C-alpha cells in the first residue's frame, strides 16, 4: 500500500508537532511512503531514508499550491493532508484523508480579511467534501466542523494528540539562565490567544509579586504588535518592560526546561482545537491555569484550574492564589489526564482508521 503525505508544515508549531510525532509510526506500517516538502528539511529526520521525497515548496494556502498538487501527487492508495489546504483539483489517490485541527478561520474569532475568510471557507468545504476520512483532534473540534461545514459525523474520526517524552524527564537544572521564579506563557501570538488578558491580570498583581515573578512569553515575536499596537502600548503604559520578558523562538530541545522551571503556566486562549501546551505543562509537573473556552476543559480535565478568558480580574486572583498559597493538583488527577493523551495511542488510532478505509475500498472494488 502506498501513502503520500504533504509534510510542508513539519517545522510549524502545533501542526508540525503533530506531524513529527505521528509520521514515524505511520511510515512503519505502509509498504511505500512518499512525502511532499522541502528535501533539506525532511533529510534532518531519522525516518527520511525510509521515504521517497518529492520536492514541493509552494506557499501554503496559495493558488499555486492548488495548481501543482495534481502534478506533484503520484498515483497512490492514500493521500493524506495534515491540514485543511486540501487539493481542489482531481488527484491520483484511491482514498483521500485530511486532518482538520480546528475551524478558527470560519468562526469570526480570527480577525482575517474578508477575502482570506472566503478562501478559507472554500478550502474547508472542499476538504470535507472530497476527503473519505477526516481526522480531528478533539470532540470540541468535531462539533465545530459539523457546525460550520456541511459534512457527515461518520466521516470524522477524533484522534487526540500526545506529549513528547522530554517533557516528562526530570531535569530541572536552570542551564538557560532563566529567572529563579516566573510565570510562563507559550504559544503563538494571534489575537485569539488572548495575551492581553494575561497581561492585564499580571499587571493587577501586587508590585511585590511582579518583582518576584517575571512573566515569560515564549514564541515568535512576529504578530505581537496588533493593528492598534495594543500589546506593546499596554506594557509601556504600565511600565512592565522589566517584568515582561519576550524570549522569541525557543528550540524543541530547550522548551521542556522552560516548562519545568516555571512556577506557574497560564494559557488564556479563546479558541483551541486541542491546546497542546496545557498537556506539556502537566507532563512537566507545572501548575496550570487555563481558559475554560473551547477544547481546553476536554484536554485539561480535572488536572487544571480554569478561568473565564474574558475576566482578567478572576485570572489575576487565581494567579495570586497559586503563587502565594502554593496551590497544587493531586498527582493522581494529573496522571489520569496524561494517560489519555499519548503519541502511541494517537498512531494506533490513525492506523486503524487508515486500515478501515482501505478495507472498505477493497470490498467496494471486489
- pTM score > 0.85 for this model? yes
Residue 40 half-sphere exposure, CB side, CA atoms within 13 Å?
1
- Looking at the fold, whether 135 and 257 belong to one and the same domain comes out as no
- Looking at the fold, whether 174 and 299 belong to one and the same domain comes out as yes
- Looking at the fold, whether 348 and 231 belong to one and the same domain comes out as no
Encode pLDDT of 157-199 as tens digits.
Answer: 999 999 988 888 876 666 778 898 999 999 877 888 999 999 9
CB 303 within 8 A of CB 329: yes
Averages of pLDDT over each 10 residues, the chain, 366 residues: 95 90 93 95 95 95 94 96 96 97 89 88 97 98 97 97 87 76 89 92 96 91 54 90 90 90 96 95 95 97 96 97 86 92 96 90 59
Dihedral pair phi/psi, residue 306, rounded to 5°: -110, 160
Residue 136 half-sphere exposure, CB side, CA atoms within 13 Å?
27
Q: What angle do CA 151, 156, 157 make, to 5 degrees?
A: 180
- Looking at the fold, whether 113 and 257 belong to one and the same domain comes out as no
Query: Cα–Cα distance between 148 and 125 in angstroms, integer?
Result: 9
Pairing type for strands 93-99 and 133-136 reads parallel
DSSP-derived letter for residue 110 is S
- Looking at the fold, whether 125 and 185 belong to one and the same domain comes out as no
- Looking at the fold, whether 120 and 177 belong to one and the same domain comes out as no
Question: Three-class SS of residue 79?
Answer: strand
- Looking at the fold, whether 12 and 157 belong to one and the same domain comes out as yes
Residue 270 half-sphere exposure, CB side, CA atoms within 13 Å?
18
CB 43 within 8 A of CB 13: no
- Looking at the fold, whether 34 and 94 belong to one and the same domain comes out as yes
Encode pLDDT of 197-207 as tens digits.
Answer: 999 999 999 99
Residue 110 half-sphere exposure, CB side, CA atoms within 13 Å?
19
CATH number, domain of 323, equals 3.40.50.2000
- Looking at the fold, whether 314 and 225 belong to one and the same domain comes out as yes
Question: Three-class SS of residue 77?
Answer: strand
> What is the tally of structural domains in the chain?
2
Amino acid at each position: 500500500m502506498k501513502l503520500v503525505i504533504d509534510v510542508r508544515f513539519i517545522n510549524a508549531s502545533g501542526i508540525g508537532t503533530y506531524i513529527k510525532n505521528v509520521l514515524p509510526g505511520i511510515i512503519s506500517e505502509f509498504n511505500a511512503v512518499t512525502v511532499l516538502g522541502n528535501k533539506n528539511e525532511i533529510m534532518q529526520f531519522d525516518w527520511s531514508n525510509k521515504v521517497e521525497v518529492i520536492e514541493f515548496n509552494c506557499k501554503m494556502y496559495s493558488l499555486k499550491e492548488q495548481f501543482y498538487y495534481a502534478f506533484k501527487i503520484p498515483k497512490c492508495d492514500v493521500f493524506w493532508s495534515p491540514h485543511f489546504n486540501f487539493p481542489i483539483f482531481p488527484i491520483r489517490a484511491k482514498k483521500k484523508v485530511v486532518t482538520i485541527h480546528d475551524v478558527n478561520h470560519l468562526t469570526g474569532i480570527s480577525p482575517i480579511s474578508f477575502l482570506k475568510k472566503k478562501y478559507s471557507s472554500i478550502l474547508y468545504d472542499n476538504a470535507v467534501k472530497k476527503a473519505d476520512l477526516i481526522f480531528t483532534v478533539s470532540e470540541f473540534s468535531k462539533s465545530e466542523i459539523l457546525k460550520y461545514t456541511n459534512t457527515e459525523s461518520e466521516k470524522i474520526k477524533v484522534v487526540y494528540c500526545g506529549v513528547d517524552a522530554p517533557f516528562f524527564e526530570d531535569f530541572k537544572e536552570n542551564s538557560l539562565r532563566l529567572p529563579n521564579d516566573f510565570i510562563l506563557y507559550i504559544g503563538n501570538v494571534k489575537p485569539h490567544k488572548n495575551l492581553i488578558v494575561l497581561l492585564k491580570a499580571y499587571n493587577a498583581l501586587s508590585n511585590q509579586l511582579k518583582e518576584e515573578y517575571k512573566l515569560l512569553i515564549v514564541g515568535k515575536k512576529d504578530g505581537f504588535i496588533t493593528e492598534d499596537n495594543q500589546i506593546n502600548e499596554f506594557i509601556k503604559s504600565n511600565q512592565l518592560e522589566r517584568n515582561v520578558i519576550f524570549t522569541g523562538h525557543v528550540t524543541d530541545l530547550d522548551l521542556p526546561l522552560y516548562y519545568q522551571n516555571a512556577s506557574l503556566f497560564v494559557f488564556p486562549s479563546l479558541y483551541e482545537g486541542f491546546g497542546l501546551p496545557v498537556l506539556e505543562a502537566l507532563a512537566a509537573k507545572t501548575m496550570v491555569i487555563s481558559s475554560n473556552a473551547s477544547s481546553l476543559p476536554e484536554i485539561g480535565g480535572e488536572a487544571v484550574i480554569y478561568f473565564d478568558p474574558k475576566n482578567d480580574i478572576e485570572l489575576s486572583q487565581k494567579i495570586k492564589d497559586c503563587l502565594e498559597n502554593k496551590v497544587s493538583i493531586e498527582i493522581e488527577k494529573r496522571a489520569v489526564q496524561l494517560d489519555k493523551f499519548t503519541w502511541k495511542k494517537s498512531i494506533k488510532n490513525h492506523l486503524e482508521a487508515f486500515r478501515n478505509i482501505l478495507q472498505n475500498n477493497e470490498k467496494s472494488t471486489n
